[in-house]
Chains A and B, each alone.
Chain A
């Protein structure tokens, strides 16, 4: 079977298998294990003789280590080793790197960077010794760059230029040209980064908290200068990642080096503060958006420029304009991302890199334009959905944006929105409504999976695909159960072990559609074999309740198996469908927010998201992903902000007390509408990415609701009270009617 995906698979086989399993809102099989503490996370394996390692962070922002006073801490109780090695990681690997990131911790790139590992018999001993370790530095912090507004910026990649935007802006009947800001974000996954390393001769086993096992094996092997085949990674349960575990980070390599040195297992767990300070961040952004429209509200000019930052020699540049490329029309375009080098921890992928902050701003500016023209924000968007991809003349594979706005708006009660600000007051609160489009590129990644039909009819799925709380166990099992006519209690899914075929990993919303397609293909291969044994055409094969039938023939599957299991590996990788279609998931957000007329506090009162991301593989996990994304959207809009000391770039709010993710009370009733859709260009299971869409525009809907409520247009996220106070109308003024 071909592995590349070159032509849309229009058969929609999963609509014809008739088991009622695919799409059903089934529980995650790992759920009960997790709440009962029976799903071990990386640090929770009990290995005999395991020593405990604690990383030490740099007390300077830039420079090198002059001396480490090892002997003092080696004399402390239980201390076994102080490691400050050229192989230890200075920075985490970027997602999909598949090679070692910057190594040698004796050079210091940012404040708090791991510079040493202290290993002791107990965690408490290691912690105390790590705190006591004295290090002398050659301090060059004075040459650091700490102000994100004062960097030397250069294009991250070639800007997109179409037509003449300046001329188009000058001719536009309506124009908006505004600069917005967003502050940096942390992934803040529930499970801190952790690893246990154990050597058996030249073979390393690493229990890790990781999102992409196959490239992680290469990153780890390359860092240790050993062959890939010598590394096994085990990560069956991962307590969230949101991009921060796409690549390996400091703890895995440090644990492996220490375990080799000590010839015993070593565990390294990052503290919550170290996760914040050393793994990765979403860059702060400054974004200038220019929109120019004709008298009828059609875009003539579309400009989106972003200024972002990263450490020197990091290629990753927050792809802020990613959705702007394909979402709206406008013949004259200028889109660019400019990167400046800064002395802060590594910037990398945090849930929905690009769209999370790019859509938030673009959708705010669209609202500004709609207000200027005096038309409904939905109407403005509808007038600007291009028929084909601007600049490249490609068709859209499928796009449910129109439907999401209409059906979402109807369900939300959008028609009750007041056309002007300051028209609804509820006690101390101004109340308003806002909406925004949702858009996130769709990506398929190479993936493989093995499916085994056991002689007794049970089904086993094996792939190194991870489940980071997203539902991989449930979804991959459902695809196999649906395809092979096997009830879910007879399907077992085994994940997160590099001994299994390489899945796509968890990132970029691609896990379910990519690895799901690999499972689908393995199952299809099994179906063809079974049809052959039944001597019928596979198109006619029906599998249900352990019986194979078709073309008038019928036999129990176990008889066709004749006592031997049937095993197939399915593979897929992106092909021509990726080049020939503009692929993305779409939706619309609706938000009702209150702004306190006195204090400027903002509280979201209710929210609705309507989404189309192809086939829904599991209605419960899909809905949960959308809900989680929208909760992230609330955080990004209203409270999440990395605070760096302006003098040395150290991260000051490095824990969950000071980095304010939303609490339960900040999250109002949220409704999710999943739109029926099949996208055959995206994958043979007609599914697209779902995991990140819920955050791609949410903040715009919230900001637009704030404007509709109180008439203040916030252009700096997060929208904390201080940014609204100065412009709020007199709280005692009579309410306009």
Chain B
């Protein structure tokens, strides 16, 4: 770990316009600093800025940036009205990590691409312009959608996949004032500038995540992995689905493990609306989802796996 200057903020405003790396739970940043993947000159600790409340927001919910993942997953309102979010959080990491990890920190966590995670390889995300060693290397858990020659890394999280399906928004304070970004637009694809994971600009701080009014229907977060905890998703599906008279009346979906961001594709839900559930329908939805999918060799299996996982989740959500 390189030496750095440390300061502690007591209100969020101190972080606005700061050029320091913001330290919340530290479960990802500190690991990366030890590996010297991250080498910030200044670290601003925002843990005491008070952004740790969950509040009603009309019919929705406003979850402070520093609410811990554990607290969010345990919140009675979240469990009752947005169970998808609680499921996704609990599918990730370990209890110890979830106790420390924060909502905003989780959104900003970085890829676990093994070439990004070590400094003796070429990685456009870690060192822009150096190349991508994952393309011809160990890439079993890399992206099949929206990737580029510059970067085939995936966004590793679960929570953001659920938030994408739930149409959440990210509240950001910037030097020019407050702005909100739809979660689906928050993470980027690697096109051109692989080192930028999301749309946060220098000097900005996430202050909250907001959830719109609860949606009725079954909520399912399904995460596929070879061991049943403490592993990143090979593929995950977040689904909110409501049936009416034997037909699919509403569906919201997002996918993890497939791309540089929680993957959403409005065509998938559109194909399902008004239809009677059937294996053929699920296949048609998967055809749309995966029409542009491209494997790298080791991760080719994600294409059939995503198809089958989507079928499993849709079957589960639509059965009597």
Residues of chain A touching chain B, judged by Cβ–Cβ distance below 8 Å, are 59, 124, 127-128, 131, 428, 596, 598-603, 638-639, 643-647, 652-653, 657-658, 660, 662-666, 718, 720-722, 725-726, 731-732
Q: List 17 A-B contacts (CB under 8 A).
A: A598-B309, A598-B311, A646-B136, A646-B137, A652-B138, A653-B114, A653-B138, A660-B226, A663-B231, A721-B224, A721-B301, A721-B305, A725-B304, A725-B305, A731-B311, A731-B312, A732-B279
> Assuming the A-B contacts A643-B138, A732-B279, are A718 and B226 also in contact, with contact meaning beta carbons closer than 8 angstroms in the complex?
yes
Report which residue of A59, A644, A732 has the largest number of chain B beta carbons within 10 angstroms of its beta carbon: A732
Which of A127, A131, A644, A666 sits near B227, CB closer than 8 Å?
Answer: A666
**Does B229 contact A664, Cβ atoms closer than 8 Å?**
yes
**Does B228 contact A663, Cβ atoms closer than 8 Å?**
yes
- Alpha-carbon separation in the docked complex, A725 to B230 (Å): 22
**Does B1 contact A124, Cβ atoms closer than 8 Å?**
yes
Cβ of B3 < 8 Å from any Cβ of A?
yes
Cβ of B2 < 8 Å from any Cβ of A?
yes
**Does B231 contact A660, Cβ atoms closer than 8 Å?**
yes
> Assuming the A-B contacts A639-B226, A666-B228, are A128 and B1 also in contact, with contact meaning beta carbons closer than 8 angstroms in the complex?
yes
Q: Which residues of A contact B1 (CB under 8 A)?
A: 124, 127-128
Closest residue of A by beta carbon distance from B299: A722
**Does A726 contact B304, Cβ atoms closer than 8 Å?**
yes
**Does B305 contact A722, Cβ atoms closer than 8 Å?**
yes
Closest residue of B by beta carbon distance from A720: B226
- Alpha-carbon separation in the docked complex, A248 to B168 (Å): 55
- Could you tell me the dominant secondary structure of chain A's interface residues? loop
- Alpha-carbon separation in the docked complex, A598 to B310 (Å): 9
Cβ of B140 < 8 Å from any Cβ of A?
yes
CB of A657, distance to nearest CB on chain B (Å): 7
Cβ of B234 < 8 Å from any Cβ of A?
yes
Which of A598, A645, A721 sits near B137, CB closer than 8 Å?
Answer: A645
CB of A722, distance to nearest CB on chain B (Å): 3
Q: Which residues of B contact A601 (CB under 8 A)?
A: 224-226
- Alpha-carbon separation in the docked complex, A662 to B231 (Å): 10
Q: Which residues of B contact A59 (CB under 8 A)?
A: 120
Those of B126-146 within 8 Å (CB) of chain A: 133, 136-138, 140
CB of B311, distance to nearest CB on chain A (Å): 6
Q: Which 9 A-B pairs have the closest CB atoms?
A: A722-B301, A598-B312, A665-B228, A652-B138, A663-B229, A652-B114, A598-B308, A720-B226, A599-B224
Residues of chain B touching chain A, judged by Cβ–Cβ distance below 8 Å, are 1-3, 36, 112, 114-115, 120, 133, 136-138, 140, 224-231, 234-235, 279, 301, 304-305, 308-309, 311-312, 315-316
Q: Which residues of B contact A731 (CB under 8 A)?
A: 308, 311-312
Which of A603, A643, A726 sits near B228, CB closer than 8 Å?
Answer: A603
**Does B137 contact A599, Cβ atoms closer than 8 Å?**
no
**Does B229 contact A599, Cβ atoms closer than 8 Å?**
no
Q: Other CB < 8 Å A-B pairs besides A599-B235, A601-B224, 4 of them?
A: A599-B305, A643-B140, A652-B137, A731-B311
- Alpha-carbon separation in the docked complex, A722 to B304 (Å): 9
CB of B154, distance to nearest CB on chain A (Å): 14
> Assuming the A-B contacts A128-B2, A128-B3, A721-B305, are A647 and B228 also in contact, with contact meaning beta carbons closer than 8 angstroms in the complex?
no
Which of B2, B114, B133, B309 sits near A599, CB closer than 8 Å?
Answer: B309
Q: Which residues of A contact B3 (CB under 8 A)?
A: 128
Closest residue of A by beta carbon distance from B225: A601
CB of A631, distance to nearest CB on chain B (Å): 12
**Does A663 contact B226, Cβ atoms closer than 8 Å?**
no
Closest residue of A by beta carbon distance from B113: A652
Which of A598, A602, A718, A721 sits near B234, CB closer than 8 Å?
Answer: A721
Q: Which residues of A contact B301 (CB under 8 A)?
A: 721-722, 725
> Assuming the A-B contacts A645-B137, A652-B138, are A600 and B279 also in contact, with contact meaning beta carbons closer than 8 angstroms in the complex?
no
- Alpha-carbon separation in the docked complex, A638 to B224 (Å): 14
Closest residue of B by beta carbon distance from A58: B120
- Alpha-carbon separation in the docked complex, A615 to B231 (Å): 40
- Alpha-carbon separation in the docked complex, A664 to B231 (Å): 13
Q: Which residues of B contact A600 (CB under 8 A)?
A: 305, 308
Which of B137, B227, B309 sits near A638, CB closer than 8 Å?
Answer: B227
- Alpha-carbon separation in the docked complex, A725 to B226 (Å): 13
Q: Which residues of A contact B315 (CB under 8 A)?
A: 598, 732
- Alpha-carbon separation in the docked complex, A600 to B136 (Å): 26
CB of A593, distance to nearest CB on chain B (Å): 13
- Alpha-carbon separation in the docked complex, A599 to B234 (Å): 10
CB of B176, distance to nearest CB on chain A (Å): 38
**Does B136 contact A647, Cβ atoms closer than 8 Å?**
yes
- Alpha-carbon separation in the docked complex, A658 to B230 (Å): 10
CB of B142, distance to nearest CB on chain A (Å): 12
Q: Which residues of A contact B112 (CB under 8 A)?
A: 657-658
**Does A131 contact B36, Cβ atoms closer than 8 Å?**
yes
Closest residue of A by beta carbon distance from B120: A59
Q: Which residues of A contact B133 (CB under 8 A)?
A: 645
Q: Which residues of B contact A131 (CB under 8 A)?
A: 36
Q: Which residues of B contact A127 (CB under 8 A)?
A: 1
Q: Which residues of B contact A660 (CB under 8 A)?
A: 226-227, 231
- Alpha-carbon separation in the docked complex, A720 to B301 (Å): 11
- Alpha-carbon separation in the docked complex, A428 to B311 (Å): 11
- Alpha-carbon separation in the docked complex, A268 to B315 (Å): 55
- Alpha-carbon separation in the docked complex, A658 to B35 (Å): 15
Closest residue of B by beta carbon distance from A733: B279
Q: Which residues of B contact A722 (CB under 8 A)?
A: 301, 305
Q: Which residues of B contact A663 (CB under 8 A)?
A: 227-231
Q: Which residues of B contact A598 (CB under 8 A)?
A: 308-309, 311-312, 315
Closest residue of A by beta carbon distance from B3: A128
- Alpha-carbon separation in the docked complex, A61 to B112 (Å): 24
Q: Which residues of A contact B120 (CB under 8 A)?
A: 59
- Alpha-carbon separation in the docked complex, A124 to B2 (Å): 9
Q: Which residues of B contact A653 (CB under 8 A)?
A: 114, 138
Q: Which residues of A contact B225 (CB under 8 A)?
A: 601
CB of B10, distance to nearest CB on chain A (Å): 28
**Does B227 contact A639, Cβ atoms closer than 8 Å?**
yes
Q: Which residues of B contact A718 (CB under 8 A)?
A: 226
- Alpha-carbon separation in the docked complex, A658 to B315 (Å): 31
- Alpha-carbon separation in the docked complex, A647 to B304 (Å): 28
- Alpha-carbon separation in the docked complex, A498 to B227 (Å): 41
Report which residue of A124, A131, A598, A645 has the largest number of chain B beta carbons within 10 angstroms of its beta carbon: A598
- Alpha-carbon separation in the docked complex, A543 to B137 (Å): 67
- Alpha-carbon separation in the docked complex, A601 to B236 (Å): 13
**Does B226 contact A721, Cβ atoms closer than 8 Å?**
yes
Q: Which residues of A contact B231 (CB under 8 A)?
A: 660, 663
CB of B315, distance to nearest CB on chain A (Å): 8
CB of B55, distance to nearest CB on chain A (Å): 34
- Alpha-carbon separation in the docked complex, A726 to B234 (Å): 16
CB of B113, distance to nearest CB on chain A (Å): 10
- Alpha-carbon separation in the docked complex, A127 to B224 (Å): 37
- Alpha-carbon separation in the docked complex, A645 to B36 (Å): 21
Closest residue of B by beta carbon distance from A60: B120
Closest residue of A by beta carbon distance from B301: A722
Q: Which residues of B contact A658 (CB under 8 A)?
A: 112, 114
Q: Which residues of B contact A645 (CB under 8 A)?
A: 133, 137-138
